[in-house]
Every structure is written in structure tokens, then in C-alpha cells.
Structure 1
Amino acid sequence: MRSLFLFLLIAALAACSAPPARLEVPLRAVSPAAFGQSLTLTQQITVEMRGEARSIEAVLAISPERIDLAGLAMGQRLIDVHFDGASLTEKRSPLLPEAVTGARILRDVMLAYWPREALIAALPTGWRIEDSAGRRRVFCADEPVITIEYSGEPRWRGRAHLIQHRLGYSLTIDSDEA
């Protein structure tokens, strides 16, 4: 039963197959130091796509020097991502679909949690970010690409719900400080 669940989780993640580059948010690397503090979070991440929902557990550690993220499902490590501001490395389970990459995970984490000013500096012309109480929206021209709603402040505390409009998936991230 455990193997079946893990297989179904991986199949759901595979549904997020590699999209055309024009659908992705072209966020260049943002320094871990731009986050502004050190923090370790335990997270429950639910991925929803095409009416299917699957959850994984994660540990996210942010320091001025690096970002480390470990993703687990059913007690099995699926991915380890490490980013030092210049290079990204990842170790991944062979069961994890190629479309689920450390770069994509890191981009969504940064778009959700990093300060607006740091993100704007890493986006090309034509992209903008609007922040308001409990919400962040990423636009390409006037098209909303990502909407993120937050349950609390600071934004990494509690629940963040990210909707990727172009790619048709959403992430619900429930975080607690470790």
C-alpha cells in the first residue's frame, strides 16, 4: 500500500511535466541573504493539478549563505536541494519525475517568501509583483501568472496558497518553525 501511494504521488508530480519555457516565471537567481534572516521551517506541501492532490513533507532551512530543502513522502526522501547563491545542486530519487526540479521548487519558494524588492531585481522587463495585505501577485505585462495568498505575517508563518495560472497547478504550503 505504501509503495502504491508513493507511486501515485510521483505520478501526480509527473503531471507537472516540463512546460514550455514561455510559461515559466523567468526569475534569475536571488541571493539567500536577500531573505533577511535565518530560518528553518517544517512544511506540509500539497500539490493540486487536474483535480488530483498529493502531499509531501519538507524541511526548508534558509541562512544568509545557503538554502537547503529536503522533500519526503511516506518516509522516503525524494529530493534534496542546496543553493548557495551561485550554484544549485540536488540529489533526487530515481522515482521522482524529471519535471520536478530543484530549480522549480526553489523558484516557487522564493516567489512566495522573499522580499518583493529582491524578486523585482531578478525579473526581466515586463514583469512586476504587487503585494497587498495577505496577497502577492506576479504579472507578465497585465496577465496574472501567479497569485499567492497568506494566512499570516510574516508570510512564511502558517499557510501560503500559490496558484500558478499559466501552468494550472497550485501549492498549499503549511509551515511551522522548526
Structure 2
Amino acid sequence: MRHLFNRKIVGLSVLLMLAILSGCASAPPVAKQARLGLKLVPASLGENFSVQQHLKVERNGRIDELDAALEVDAGQLELVGLAFGQRVLSLSYDGKELKSWRHMMLPAQVRAEDVLEDMQLSLWPVQAIAQALPAGWRIEDQGLRRTLYLDNELVTSIDYSRMPRWSGTVVLNNLRYHYRLTIQSAP
């Protein structure tokens, strides 16, 4: 009986954690509100790394957390998201094809493309991002702060605790979709 109770608690916990990722989900597409569709090749990062991260999503007064493992080399980007030790999301991107897997209970609004975009906006060199931006968009780096604009309106700000960008804490504030993503990399 206790085993059944523990399984129910774990199952409910996994469902709760799946709701976490819906906090990063984008709003329904509107012509001016469409995501960038940023898909830079892994090699354009200019370095290889493997890191464990803790993600915290804040949206509408709610805070949700998730653990992730990220590995990037010149030919491939791999991300696995875990909630209570269970895989809830994975994505693999080789610069041509984005493959993703999601837990069946993961909300449909959580899209691998959006996860990849936030990751690349945060970690890739500003020059690589700037070359890929559509008309009307611009990105700037000022020390440990990065800002993204659409038609001179601030859309996203990203603050870093140190360099390289993936080695410390990254705080991404998306003003368009009203969420804050804090990524803490393991030392």
C-alpha cells in the first residue's frame, strides 16, 4: 500500500513539474509577436562544454524549477530536462535538424524551438546572433548584460554573473512573454 502511495506522489509530482515548462511557453503567434526562429549551428558557439544546470521559471507569481544537462560541441547540441529524476524533455540539434522528445503530459505550449532559442540567445556570441536576426531586430552586449530589441523596443534582457556565459548564473527576462528564466550552472 505504501508503495502505491509513493508512486501516486511521484506521479503527481511529475505532473506538477511538467507544468513548470509551460511557464516558458510562448503566447499564441501574432504577426508582430512571433518568436525569432533562431537556429544557429552548434559550431557557431565557438567552444565545447558540458554542464549541469538548475532552472527556475518565474511567471504570473509562480515559481517552478527543473534540472537539466546541456552538452554542446561543434557538431551537436544535446539537452535533457529532468523533474524528480525523470526525463521530461530532451532535444538534440545538429545545425540542420531539431529532434525532441517530451513527456506525454508536457503541455503542448512547451516547444523545443523556444527552448533552443532562449538557450542560443543566452549563450551564443552576439555576432553570430546579430547575423541571423530578421529585419527590425537588434542585439547588444554591454559587459555582463545582453539586450534584444524589436523596432527599438526592449524585448529581452539577459544578465550574467561571469564569463564564460555558461559557467555561472544567467537571468533571462522576457518582457514580451512575461517570464524570467534563471539558469544556475553547477560549479
Relative to the length of structure 1, the TM-score reads: 0.93
What's the offset of the Cα at 1:18? 4.5
Could you say what the CA RMSD is over the residues aligned between the two structures, in angstroms? 1.5
1:13-162 mapped onto 2 (5 Å cutoff): 13-21=21-29, 22-162=32-172
Q: Decide whether aligned partners of structure 1 residues 27 and 11 sit closer, same or farther in structure 2, where only a CA change above 3 A counts.
A: closer
Q: How many residues align?
A: 177
Deviations 1:131-169 (A, max 9, x none): 111100000011111100100111111100001101001
What's the offset of the Cα at 1:27? 3.6
Aligned residues of 2:91 and 2:112 also touching (Cα < 8 A)? yes
Q: Decide whether aligned partners of structure 1 residues 17 and 66 sit closer, same or farther in structure 2, where only a CA change above 3 A counts.
A: closer
| CA distance in 2: counterparts of 1:109 and 1:3, whole angstroms | 28
Letter in 1 for 2:96: A
What's the offset of the Cα at 1:20? 2.9
| CA distance in 2: counterparts of 1:153 and 1:14, whole angstroms | 29
Whether 1:5 aligns to 2:13 is: yes
Q: Which runs of 5+ in 1 are unaligned?
A: none
Q: Decide whether aligned partners of structure 1 residues 66 and 124 sit closer, same or farther in structure 2, where only a CA change above 3 A counts.
A: same
| CA distance in 2: counterparts of 1:125 and 1:49, whole angstroms | 29
Structure 1 residue aligned with 2:3: none
Deviations 1:86-127 (A, max 9, x none): 010011110111111111111000000000011111110110
Q: Which runs of 5+ in 2 are unaligned?
A: 1-8
Identity of aligned residues (%): 35
Letter in 2 for 1:63: D
